[in-house]
Amino acid sequence: MTAEVSELRELRASVREFLEAKSPEEAVRKLMESEPRFDLDVWAQAADQLRLPGLAIPEEYGGDGFGPVELGVVMEEMGRALLCSPFFATVVLAAQALLASGDSDACARHLPGIASGRTTATLAVAEDSGSWDPALISARAVPDGDGGWRLNGRKCFVIDGTTADLILVVARTVAGPSFFAVDRTAPGVTAVAMETLDATRAMARLTFDSVAATPVGAEGSGGRIMARVLDMASVGLAAEQAGGARRCLEMSAEYARTRHQFGRPIGSFQAVKHKCADMLVQVELAEASAREAARLADEGAADFPVAAAVAHACCSRAYMFAAMENIQVHGGIGFTWEHPAHLYFRRAKSSQLLFGGPAVYHERLLDRLGI
């Protein structure tokens, strides 16, 4: 189901209004030094008033059944506002993994809680190297002899790993990489917060010591599910990046119009003007690629994986560029702790490298193109 243009505009307006009220800069700054790193009340309001967690979850699992296009609008707005929330890990990573697994039991068990906002969740893939390559996974799951499974190993870079109620873990079995659901409070789970470049996105190192785990999807199907999740997650992330990049451009243009030096607005100097124009070009390309990829995902188009890879690379670069240039346009003031420019810079760099970074996603694009 895809909303009409006017409905999308309405969705964007209501999410923006909500975030302007609930996630102003002061709130972001306070939360990024708190534990948990999100506001429980705001999360509950996002769920109850705007029904955001359930937006893109099928109606049969308690959601509103919208698709990647609407999800993209929400992610763009969250990226603009640098919202500290479990939305990305819960709705974009974990819920998409459950849906991609095709495991209707697991979906029926977990998705209604996610859709209502009562359950937060995350995906634990990367280990010490940070790689999402299934071949590099060393965590193991073995049958416990009573029909259950036991999980052992260590995961890093797990977003919201100290707070998520449900953890979907990719672990190796004799059949290959497989998905497992783990309750974070299960005996044997240890979660330690990691110090992060981007303090607005909490990450943890998780240790699993013979933890009871429930398979999600067919044993050995982890590689296929991960490929699908990575496509969906990179489009979600791309939208967030496009939103952040747009905000950096707006900050720069506003400053360039109003800040005077040598008796005239700095935006009238061609060097500054062209910096802003270069940012605009990147932002326009980023928005187009993120929105087009979401549209193709919605249509189930065959070239969606290619578009997802393009959006991932394009938006990663655009956000990093806009975040860097934003500081330059602001000059010294942009380098201070008090100015928000560094918050965007941190988010941009962290997001650019989240799923492996340019060398990895460039090869993924070539792979999806058959090159």
Partner 1 sequence: MDQEMQDFAAEARRFLDAHATKAPDRAAVTWGVGDDSMAYFSSLPPEEEAEEVRRARAWQRTRHENGFGWITGPPEYGGRGLTPVHDLLYDAVESEYAVPDTGVLGVVGLGMIGPTILAHAQPHIKECWLPAMYRGDAIACQLFSEPGAGSDLASVATRAVREGAEWVLDGQKVWTSVAQHSEIGIALTRTDPDAPKHRGITAFLVPMDAPGVEVRPLRQMTGGADFNEVFLTDVRIPDDHRLGEVDGGWTVALTTLMNERNTVGSEGAGPVAAALSPEHLSALMRATWTWDDRALRGRLAELLVDAMATGYLNDRAQRTLRAGIAPGPERSVSKLMYGQNLTRAAHFVSDCLGPRIIADTGQWGTYAWSELLLATPALRILGGTEEIMKNILAERVLGLPKEPVTTAAKEVRS
**Interface ranges with partner 1 (CB under 8 A):** 5, 249, 253, 256-257, 264-265, 267-270, 272-274, 276-278, 280-281, 284-286, 288-289, 291-292, 306-307, 310, 313-314, 317, 358-359, 362-363, 365-366, 369-371
3-state secondary structure of 197: coil
- In the complex, the smallest distance separating the C-beta of residue 2 from partner 1, rounded to whole angstroms, is 13
- In the complex, the smallest distance separating the C-beta of residue 330 from partner 1, rounded to whole angstroms, is 15
- In the complex, the smallest distance separating the C-beta of residue 241 from partner 1, rounded to whole angstroms, is 13
- Comparison of 191 and 288: residue with beta carbon closer to partner 1: 288
- Comparison of 47 and 237: residue with beta carbon closer to partner 1: 237
- Comparison of 95 and 290: residue with beta carbon closer to partner 1: 290
- In the complex, the smallest distance separating the C-beta of residue 287 from partner 1, rounded to whole angstroms, is 9
CB 44 within 8 A of CB 117: yes
Which residue in the block uniquely carries the two structure tokens 């009220």? 21
Nearest to 240 by CA among 287, 281, 200: 287
- Comparison of 104 and 268: residue with beta carbon closer to partner 1: 268
Task: Give the helix/strand (H/E) hosting 115.
Answer: helix 104-116
- Comparison of 185 and 270: residue with beta carbon closer to partner 1: 270
- In the complex, the smallest distance separating the C-beta of residue 320 from partner 1, rounded to whole angstroms, is 13
Q: How far apart are CA 179 and CA 237, in angstroms?
A: 22
Nearest to 10 by CA among 56, 77, 59: 77
Q: How far apart are CA 250 and CA 256, in angstroms?
A: 10
What separation in angstroms does the CA of 246 have from each of 19, 259, 299, 348, 371?
Answer: 16, 20, 26, 12, 32
- Comparison of 193 and 288: residue with beta carbon closer to partner 1: 288
Which residue in the block uniquely carries the two structure tokens 């763009």? 76
- In the complex, the smallest distance separating the C-beta of residue 270 from partner 1, rounded to whole angstroms, is 6
Task: Give the helix/strand (H/E) hosting 43.
Answer: helix 40-48
- Comparison of 167 and 272: residue with beta carbon closer to partner 1: 272
Burial 201-232 (b: 16+ CB within 10 A, else e): bbbbbbebeebbbbbbbebebbebbbebbbbb
- In the complex, the smallest distance separating the C-beta of residue 292 from partner 1, rounded to whole angstroms, is 4
> Dihedral through CA 99, CA 102, CA 105, CA 106, nearest 10?
-50
Q: Work out the burial of residue 38: count CB atoms within 10 Å of its CB; fewer than 13 is exposed, 13-18 middle, 19 or more buried.
A: buried
- In the complex, the smallest distance separating the C-beta of residue 314 from partner 1, rounded to whole angstroms, is 5
- Comparison of 153 and 356: residue with beta carbon closer to partner 1: 356
Other CB atoms within a 10 A radius of the CB of residue 173 amount to 17
- In the complex, the smallest distance separating the C-beta of residue 317 from partner 1, rounded to whole angstroms, is 8
- Comparison of 237 and 307: residue with beta carbon closer to partner 1: 307
- Cβ contacts of 261 within 8 Å, gap of 6 or more: none
- Comparison of 27 and 296: residue with beta carbon closer to partner 1: 296
- In the complex, the smallest distance separating the C-beta of residue 276 from partner 1, rounded to whole angstroms, is 5
Nearest to 323 by CA among 279, 274, 292, 356: 279
Q: How far apart are CA 14 and CA 204, in angstroms?
A: 32
